[in-house]
Amino acid sequence: MDLDAGRLVEDLMLGDARALARAISIVEDRGKLWKEIMRRVYPHTGRACVVGVTGTPGAGKSTLVGHVGRSLLERGHALGIVAVDPSSPYTGGALLGDRLRMRDISSHEGVFIRSMATRGALGGLCPAARDVCRLMEANGRDVVIIETVGVGQDEIEVVSASDWVVLVTFPGQGDAIQAIKAGVMEIADIFVVNKADREGAGEMASAIEAMLDLATGPGQERPPVFMTSCLSGEGVSALSDHVEDLVSRRKDEPARDRRRVAVELMDLLDTHVRGILRERLGRDGIYERAVDAVMEGRADPYEAAWSLAESLGFVGGPLDADWGGRP
């Protein structure tokens, strides 16, 4: 049976969870109706808040998301959770663990949880994760939490998909401070020392605060550091209050003023324009020939780019002068 994208998106926008699940599967597989669905959904997005949660495996991200999520649900928010897990080397599918850990909220009718595998050798935030956030938003969810494993590039990528990034660490994690020094600090808006029930949590929080103090310029606000324990519940409501506060303040802000929306739209536009051009240039092997010419020193990259543009008929327009003309 041929699926009607218009009908599916209509159902999805009425809050239908099955339509949401179906649309997510199509978008995740980059199926035939993927772009059609996104085209219909996009005008109805831009309002929801996206909270990225990152940190090393085992830090307690899923457990914490379960706790904070429950608190948001209790305050009447409609919640979407996207858990981006490392691909299992055996099945290529998402691990099951996260669903189990979030099970205490997964039966709540206000939440929709989706686990996604990171595909591709480099891992990172699955390219479809952003689309999935938009679908959840169109489905009526005002807060979407994306959990990603913080190993390297994902931490950076989650920034462009989130309004705020929460970095979860825990005491005894030897390299946490190292990681923070290595640039992760810049990307996080909220720092959490989880497993505060364990030895060394206070020291770790102080060390992070000290580093943040150093990095915070005059007149800037230092990002908050929370100590939480999912075991005792300590600090969890303070963290939830903070997130709730950010979300409710963000409500009145125009969508286009937001860092996330701007970065994301530009990035998507860029990626797709590039994809379209590459596809077109690839058709007759023009792109490959240009690559060869540059690699073999027969042309420089500036010249090669220019001839590629020429082959598409782009040259000769009023913008040429801005590019300095033919190299």
Ligand X SMILES: Nc1nc2c(ncn2[C@@H]2O[C@H](COP(=O)(O)OP(=O)(O)O)[C@@H](O)[C@H]2O)c(=O)[nH]1
Which residues of the shown chain bind ligand X in the complex (CB under 6 A)?
55, 57-63, 97, 101, 194-195, 197-198, 229-231
Do the beta carbons of residue 189 and residue 221 sit within 8 Å?
Answer: no
The SS3 of residue 295 is helix
Rounded Cα distance, 239 and 233, in Å: 11
- How many CA atoms does the CB half-sphere of 97 hold within 13 Å? 13
Which whole-number Å values give the CA distances from 180 to 32, 58, 94, 149, 150, in the listed order? 42, 17, 27, 15, 11
Strand partners, 84: 116, 148
Nearer to ligand X, 61 or 130 (CB): 61
139 binds, among ligand X, Mg ion, none (CB under 5 to 8 A by kind): none
62 contributes a contact to Mg ion by CB under 5 A: yes
Nearer to ligand X, 136 or 239 (CB): 239
231 binds, among Mg ion, ligand X, none (CB under 5 to 8 A by kind): ligand X
70 binds, among ligand X, Mg ion, none (CB under 5 to 8 A by kind): none
CB of 54 to Mg ion, least distance (A): 10
282 binds, among Mg ion, ligand X, none (CB under 5 to 8 A by kind): none
Stretch that binds Mg ion, among 8-16, 22-30, 90-98, 220-228 (CB under 5 A): 90-98
CB of 69 to ligand X, least distance (A): 12
Stretch that binds Mg ion, among 95-103, 159-167, 194-202, 276-284 (CB under 5 A): 95-103
Nearer to Mg ion, 98 or 163 (CB): 98
Nearer to Mg ion, 64 or 185 (CB): 64
Residues 162 to 221 in contact with Mg ion, rule: CB under 5 A: none
CB of 65 to ligand X, least distance (A): 8
Q: Where are the beta strands (DSSP E) in 118-163?
A: 143-148
Nearer to ligand X, 9 or 180 (CB): 180
Nearer to ligand X, 62 or 87 (CB): 62
175 contact partners, CB below 8 Å, separation of at least 6:
56
Rounded Cα distance, 32 and 38, in Å: 12
Chain residue whose CB lies nearest Mg ion: 62
131 contributes a contact to Mg ion by CB under 5 A: no
63 binds, among Mg ion, ligand X, none (CB under 5 to 8 A by kind): ligand X
Rounded Cα distance, 147 and 191, in Å: 15
Stretch that binds Mg ion, among 55-63, 123-131, 249-257, 278-286 (CB under 5 A): 55-63
Q: Where are the beta strands (DSSP E) in the chain?
A: 49-54, 79-85, 111-117, 143-148, 164-169, 190-193, 225-227
Q: Which has the closest alpha carbon to 166: 228, 210, 116, 113?
A: 228
Rounded Cα distance, 209 and 201, in Å: 12
98 contributes a contact to Mg ion by CB under 5 A: yes
Strand partners, 314: none
The residues of the shown chain that bind Mg ion, judged by CB under 5 A, are 61-62, 98
